Amino acid sequence: MSEGIGARVKRKEDKRFITGKGKYTDDIRMENQAYAAFVRSPHAHARVLGIDTSAAEAMEGVVAVLNGQQLTGDGIGNIICGWAITSKDGSPMNMGAWSALATEKVRYVGDAVAVVIADSQSQARLAAEAVEVEYEELPVLVSTRDALADGAAQIHDNAPGNLIYDWEIGDAAATDAALAGSAHVTEMEITNNRLSPNPMEPRSAVAIYDEAEEHYTLYTTSQNPHVARLVLSAFYNVAPEHKLRVIAPDVGGGFGSKIYIYPEEITCLWASMKTGRSVKWTSDRSEAFLTDAHGRDHVSTAKMGFDANGRITGFKVDTIANFGAYMSLFSSAVPTYLYATLLSGQYNISNIHCNVRAVYTNTVPVDAYRGAGRPEACYLIERMMETAAREMGKDPAELRRANFITQFPHETPVIMTYDAGDFGGNLDKAMAAADVAGFAARKAEAAARGKLRGLGYSAYIEACGIAPSQAVGSLGAGVGLWESAEVRVNPVGTVEILTGSHSHGQGHETTFAQIVADRFGIPIDNVQVVHGDTDKVQFGMGTYGSRSGAVGMSAIVKAMDKVEAKVKKIAAHTLEASEDDIVIEGGAVKVAGTDKQMLWHEVGLAAYTAHNLPDGMEPGLKEGAFYDPVNFTFPAGVYIAEVEVDPETGVTKIVQFTAADDFGTIINPMIVEGQVHGGIAQGVGQAMLENVSYDADGQLLTGSYMDYCMPRADDLPSYTLEHNTTVCPNNPLGIKGCGEAGAIGSPPAVINAITDAIGTNDLQMPATPQAVWRAIQAAKSPMAAE
């Protein structure tokens, strides 16, 4: 069986996970291990008047109790946001100071003010409870909608009125004019609910300081260990890069939340130096809800205009994005360049304008969560399209089709250039697989049982393969977003791939080996993928934004190009043939059209013995490459949800979910399907189950799995998946990416299906039974649901 590109190869990495031999950060225990426990604010907004550590310091096993004054006194820098967004008046964004341990003020429940280091975890936790902090409570601001109101609590002194930036994209005047001249305008107010990412492995850190070498090692739950080292070194002043090794071993899911460098990891590193002990911290789930960056949390008003033929004339959006108490690492980019730039969706729209105001509130910081900005854009557009179709009496599929972009490349009014796609083909495949033609009969059958059936569409597009470095640099990014790789062919012909991408569930150890097997004709068992260690891999930007295929694998291909060139030179020299006649196939390096060949491992051996190499050639067979993408990639597809609602209770069941995706080239269909399954589950979770909820005092009401509704197996259906592939023209393998699509495309499909079933468009996420029941009652009589 082929193990190359397109093969449904079983995962190489599975064995250690199914036998309990995975190595996650919390599984690591050093000699002389000490444990950290954080003292966290119980108040959403308060001044810190004093910290009394004397009782805690006297407790058994306590090594040290450290606070923010000591941390900043040692020169540890404030936590930063790495993407500078400029307001429309030209002013820079208002970034408030964020110390890993708060000094003067706390700004959300869970903000850390001190840390206890003790011999055992339980001793550390008990002592943390004995630290007495005197607070002066301040007025609290929680609501996104109220953040800019007169008289709202002021959270950071340098962000008057809690405004971080007021940014726009597109042509406001032209869009207003287009809307004014439209035959029909659909207007909606849409909330995108706040979510907690919830990878099943809680965050963890083990920090080790070697005093003799003045060297730090950090094992941590990171999606991007090199970025962590860069930021810890360049901005937080923990140690220079050559004195800091960051290792992200097996990592149990990320979904964005493990991109960032949090206060806890910084504090553990610093505390390991202060105490001379290896310091370990592992979050429990309650702490994860309190401290892992949340996602989404937008409030938007939107207007979409149509001409008499149902063609979109203009789209105008005004969004308030809640950033929580501090600006997390990539927070600023999410509701701007990852959101507003996707507001053209799959449609020909000449006029688009979007205004975004980012605000502080006394809540957990918000940053990228699976999809990051693109789910918010997709949800807006696709709810608007469905609602507009209903208002205009048009078929929602045909309204979409009539507006689809069909010519590529296509430049949108919001700076994206779509490179390839077949939007109509995606729709056809999805409609056929979902048996849309048979829906009316299924609806009638359900009605006979007293149930309401609905069908909803979503045509999503996303920008992945993040991202061309020069382009993102011009838009404010503090880093380049290329990827690097090294391909080492050993003397026995086995291959090691060192990659800057990081696998935390994506199956890179298999798929990255497949592209090597495809190229060099060797078994994937002869390929080892090395990742997640700054001492082993030269550099890397990590895994997020569905970039590991389109960018990470492209870097491997570039390195393989160089290896292949050298292999051909060695073989041509040995076999006394022309380089141009050398081909690599079936594990051999051959002179085309003859029986002259070297086996793959013979070339490896020749490169390392160096007894007979071409004049001037260096020994060895190892090449590295950096790949910087030339454009984003644009996965797109159509999702169709079919639901059944019990009108008496509002209980809603997804009876069928169909996805037709265009991901470009697929390396391993089994793994790609798994990514889509998981993405859809998270999208369905957002649409029907999940919501981070605070009370008016800023207390988190959804701080455990008792309160925050994670999707369970019986909340979800099995999925029907189709692929409709157009190859991405801008990277060597033609890959678009598949990691986020499910989470982006599914929420509007689900809500459109429910609103179709219940006959009202007035429904926000999550569509819990109570929310659905209330919407049904409100539609019956506007007074009934009050």
Task: Tell me how many residues contact other proteins (CB under 8 A).
Answer: 57
Question: How far, rounded to the nearest angstrom, does the alpha carbon of residue 534 sit from its chain's CA centroid?
Answer: 22
Residues 27-66 that bind other proteins (CB under 8 A): 27, 29
Total residues belonging to the chain: 786
**From 96, 396, 493, 507, residue interacting with other proteins (rule: CB under 8 A):** 507
93 token code pair: 């964004």
* Cα→Cα distances 552→330, 484, 635, Å: 20, 7, 16
Beta pairing, strands 33-40 & 278-282? parallel
Range in contact with other proteins (rule: CB under 8 A) among 23-31, 63-71, 547-555, 694-702: 23-31
Task: Decide: is 17 part of the binding site for other proteins (CB under 8 A).
Answer: yes
Helix axes 423-433, 396-403, angle to 10 degrees: 160
Range in contact with other proteins (rule: CB under 8 A) among 240-248, 451-459, 524-532, 713-721: 713-721
**From 82, 96, 202, 468, residue interacting with other proteins (rule: CB under 8 A):** 202
Q: How far is the CB of 704 from other proteins (least distance, A)?
A: 5
Is residue 543 within 8 Å of residue 502, measured between CB atoms?
yes
Task: Decide: is 15 part of the binding site for other proteins (CB under 8 A).
Answer: yes
Question: Which residues, in sequence order, are CB contacts of 18 under 8 Å at separation 6+?
Answer: none
Range in contact with other proteins (rule: CB under 8 A) among 17-25, 68-76, 489-497, 754-762: 17-25
Residue 334 to residue 371: CA distance in whole angstroms: 9
Element (H, E) at 381: helix 374-392
391/715 with CB nearer other proteins:
715
597/682 with CB nearer other proteins:
682
Residue 316 to residue 168: CA distance in whole angstroms: 11
Range in contact with other proteins (rule: CB under 8 A) among 155-163, 171-179, 501-509, 752-760: 501-509
Q: How far is the CB of 661 from other proteins (least distance, A)?
A: 14
Q: How far is the CB of 389 from other proteins (least distance, A)?
A: 28
Range in contact with other proteins (rule: CB under 8 A) among 171-179, 199-207, 291-299, 693-701: 199-207
At residue 628, the 3 state secondary structure works out as coil
**From 407, 474, 612, 718, residue interacting with other proteins (rule: CB under 8 A):** 718
Residues 96-125 that bind other proteins (CB under 8 A): 122
Task: Decide: is 6 part of the binding site for other proteins (CB under 8 A).
Answer: no
Q: How far is the CB of 183 from other proteins (least distance, A)?
A: 41
Residue 515 to residue 737: CA distance in whole angstroms: 15
Is residue 755 within 8 Å of residue 458, measured between CB atoms?
no
Q: How far is the CB of 715 from other proteins (least distance, A)?
A: 9
Task: Decide: is 716 part of the binding site for other proteins (CB under 8 A).
Answer: yes
253/729 with CB nearer other proteins:
253
Beta pairing, strands 527-530 & 582-585? unpaired
Written as one string, the DSSP assignment of 211-240 is: TTTTEEEEEE--S-HHHHHHHHHHTT-SS-
**From 704, 759, 782, 784, residue interacting with other proteins (rule: CB under 8 A):** 704
Range in contact with other proteins (rule: CB under 8 A) among 10-18, 127-135, 408-416, 568-576: 10-18
The candidate with the shortest Cα–Cα distance to 280, out of 49, 486, 97, 63, is 63
**From 18, 149, 440, 701, residue interacting with other proteins (rule: CB under 8 A):** 18
Q: How far is the CB of 351 from other proteins (least distance, A)?
A: 38
Element (H, E) at 49: strand 46-52
Range in contact with other proteins (rule: CB under 8 A) among 138-146, 478-486, 629-637, 680-688: 680-688
221/528 with CB nearer other proteins:
221
Task: Decide: is 745 part of the binding site for other proteins (CB under 8 A).
Answer: no
Task: Decide: is 210 part of the binding site for other proteins (CB under 8 A).
Answer: no
Written as one string, the DSSP assignment of 551-612 is: IIIHHHHHHHHHHHHHHHHHHHHHHT--GGGEEEETTEEEETTSS-EEEHHHHHHHHHH-SS
Q: How far is the CB of 119 from other proteins (least distance, A)?
A: 13
Task: Decide: is 701 part of the binding site for other proteins (CB under 8 A).
Answer: no
Q: How far is the CB of 551 from other proteins (least distance, A)?
A: 20
Task: Decide: is 674 part of the binding site for other proteins (CB under 8 A).
Answer: yes
Task: Decide: is 661 part of the binding site for other proteins (CB under 8 A).
Answer: no
Is residue 522 within 8 Å of residue 587, measured between CB atoms?
yes
**From 192, 534, 682, 755, residue interacting with other proteins (rule: CB under 8 A):** 682
The candidate with the shortest Cα–Cα distance to 315, out of 186, 462, 168, 461, is 186
Other Cβ atoms within 10 Å of 144 Cβ, number: 23
Q: Cα Rg for the chain, rounded, in angstroms?
A: 27
Range in contact with other proteins (rule: CB under 8 A) among 24-32, 39-47, 182-190, 628-636: 24-32
The candidate with the shortest Cα–Cα distance to 377, out of 197, 556, 192, 250, is 192
Q: How far is the CB of 362 from other proteins (least distance, A)?
A: 24
Task: Decide: is 22 part of the binding site for other proteins (CB under 8 A).
Answer: yes
Residues 239-298 that bind other proteins (CB under 8 A): 250-253, 255, 284-286
Helix axes 263-275, 225-234, angle to 10 degrees: 60
Task: Decide: is 681 part of the binding site for other proteins (CB under 8 A).
Answer: yes
Task: Decide: is 506 part of the binding site for other proteins (CB under 8 A).
Answer: yes
**From 710, 727, 779, 785, residue interacting with other proteins (rule: CB under 8 A):** 710
The candidate with the shortest Cα–Cα distance to 345, out of 395, 428, 404, 299, is 404
Task: Decide: is 430 part of the binding site for other proteins (CB under 8 A).
Answer: no
**From 45, 357, 502, 504, residue interacting with other proteins (rule: CB under 8 A):** 504
**From 545, 742, 747, 748, residue interacting with other proteins (rule: CB under 8 A):** 742
Q: How far is the CB of 749 from other proteins (least distance, A)?
A: 14
Q: Beta partners for 495?
A: 489, 527
Phi (first) and psi of residue 617, to 5 degrees: -80, 135
Range in contact with other proteins (rule: CB under 8 A) among 312-320, 523-531, 608-616, 703-711: 703-711
**From 712, 780, 782, 784, residue interacting with other proteins (rule: CB under 8 A):** 712
Q: How far is the CB of 427 from other proteins (least distance, A)?
A: 23
Sheet holding 105-106, edge to edge: 105-106, 46-52, 132-137
Task: Decide: is 706 part of the binding site for other proteins (CB under 8 A).
Answer: yes
Is residue 675 within 8 Å of residue 548, measured between CB atoms?
no
Residue 700 to residue 704: CA distance in whole angstroms: 10
Beta pairing, strands 652-662 & 495-499? unpaired
Task: Decide: is 372 part of the binding site for other proteins (CB under 8 A).
Answer: no
**From 562, 569, 677, 774, residue interacting with other proteins (rule: CB under 8 A):** 677
251/560 with CB nearer other proteins:
251
Residues 150-169 that bind other proteins (CB under 8 A): none
742/766 with CB nearer other proteins:
742
198/387 with CB nearer other proteins:
198
Task: Decide: is 655 part of the binding site for other proteins (CB under 8 A).
Answer: no
Task: Decide: is 201 part of the binding site for other proteins (CB under 8 A).
Answer: yes
Question: Which residues, in sequence order, are CB contacts of 298 under 8 Å at separation 6+?
Answer: 144, 190, 191, 192, 319, 320, 321, 322, 335, 339, 376
* Cα→Cα distances 187→347, 391, 460, 762, 781, Å: 18, 11, 20, 12, 21
Strands (DSSP E) contained in 307-451 are 312-322, 352-359, 410-411, 417-418
Residue 110 to residue 291: CA distance in whole angstroms: 6
Residues found near other proteins in the complex (CB under 8 A): 10-11, 13-24, 26-27, 29, 122, 198-202, 250-253, 255, 284-286, 504-507, 670-671, 673-674, 677-682, 704-706, 710-714, 716, 718-719, 742
